[in-house]
Amino acid sequence: MRRLVALAVILAVAVFALGVAGCGSDKPQAQADMDKGDAVMAKAMPSYNSIETKISTLVTNFANGTLSDPNAVKASVAEIQGLVKKAEAEAAAAKVQFDKIFDLNGVEDYTDYADIAIKTIDKMKQVDAAILELVGMVETAATTGKAPDVARIVTIGNDLQTLGGQLQDLVKQAETLKSEKNL
């Protein structure tokens, strides 16, 4: 009987030790979720590069009068809006991956990284909203023939510059954390 009790105690300790070792850290899963989130975000970057180029072309050509046909402006705006929606969907998919990390155990460095990544995604949403407002103003001006609110355009431009700086800071924070913690 004592042997059975001793064996049961040994088994219980072994199961507990294995359970603690196995459940104490979900680092492999956190690494996988982080890598998936990063990969999805990397897929969104070409969309943002394309958006930047297309907005610059739209605004420049509209301002200098080489793009004045309302249908052509609408087509350009629709293309930009489609790219923004695509980038937003990719960012949302990345956020899902980063959110998974918060449910894991023993992965504080990964949760810090996920927090920065999600803050970056949230800033990108603000950029998206500003972009959509800007192209909407250009489209309205083209279809109504009324000049856009220049003060609002300047404000949007300043907001985009500020957001761009904040995004750069967040990306640097994420890169530094990833490097220092060997994530």
The whole-number pLDDT of residue 68 equals 86
Range of the domain at 43: 26-180
Is residue 110, in this structure, part of any structural domain at all? yes
Residue 8 lies in a domain: no
Residues lower than pLDDT 70 in the chain: 1-24
Question: What is the per-residue pLDDT for 24?
Answer: 59
C-alpha distances in angstroms, 120 versus 21, 104, 108, 166, 174? 33, 21, 18, 8, 9
Q: What is the pLDDT of residue 179?
A: 95
Number of folded domains that form the chain: 1
Assess if residue 5 is contained within a domain. Answer: no
CATH of residue 78: 1.20.120
How far is 52 from 47, CA to CA, in rounded Å?
9
- Is 10 domain-assigned? no
For residue 62, tell me if it sits in a domain. Answer: yes
What pLDDT does residue 79 have? 96
pLDDT per residue over 40-74, tens digit each?
999 888 888 899 899 999 989 988 989 989 999 99
The per-residue pLDDT for 9 is: 36
Q: Does 102 reside within a domain?
A: yes
